[in-house]
Amino acid sequence: MNENAANNDTERPAGQKPDTLAGFLASALDMEDEISNSVYKDYMDPDNWPAGMDLNVFQEIRKHLIILIEDTRRHRKTISGLIEQYGKDKTAR
């Protein structure tokens, strides 16, 4: 979990919303990290695909996955900026 999440109220059971803006933004950042690490990056490895898959097909799929990974990085940067701007103010509820 990222530092912001550890310092806020995101340690909750699944489905429960954070109580503060900082907690909400930290949760959003955690979701972006989870998507990027557990989904897209795993699929960048040809060993995680069916055996015998044509390398050219894999390369075409990989091009699209790279776009998704880059989008996720932009999302993370945007959310990090929101945390910097609004999430550190404990009065921003």
**Alpha carbons 45 and 20: distance in angstroms, whole number:** 38
12 has a pLDDT exceeding 80: no
**Alpha carbons 66 and 44: distance in angstroms, whole number:** 8
pTM across the whole model: 0.61
Q: Where does the pLDDT of residue 9 fall: very low under 50, low under 70, confident under 90, or very high at 90 and above?
A: very low
**Alpha carbons 78 and 53: distance in angstroms, whole number:** 36
pLDDT given for residue 45 in this prediction: 87
pLDDT tens, 33-61? 888 777 777 888 888 889 999 999 999 99
